[in-house]
Amino acid sequence: MNPNSREWALKWVEGSVVGYIKGSTPLNILLGRIRKALKMGVTLNDINLLLKSIEVDPKYSTPMEVRRKKIRELRKALENLKEK
């Protein structure tokens, strides 16, 4: 997979979101990666679909309540990102 491709950027953001939920990736780092992914062709709609998927996908071991709480926090930060 080409590291400059949209698909690669989506996987990068997915891994970063999972890291954020687990507590290993700080929010500011995640937002920076999302900004970079947006420049690589990823859309905010793609990000929203990815967050919905992570929120309900049973392959992630983090409890769903924790995922929902962290994703809510991330969505709020993304709203602020859109306003800038």
Question: For the chain, what are the domain ranges?
Answer: 6-83
pTM listed for this prediction? 0.90
Question: What does the pLDDT average to over 20-40?
Answer: 96
What pLDDT, on a 0 to 100 scale, did the predictor assign at position 77?
A: 94
CA 1 to CA 4: how far, in whole Å?
Answer: 9
User: Are 37 and 44 in contact, with CB atoms under 8 Å apart?
Assistant: no
What does the block give as tokens for 51? 């967050």
Q: Say whether pLDDT at 84 is over 60.
A: no
Q: What is the spatial distance between Cα 38 and Cα 69, in angstroms, rounded to a whole number?
A: 24
**Helices assigned H by DSSP within 23-63:** 27-39, 44-56
State the pLDDT at residue 83: 56
pLDDT at 76 over 70: yes
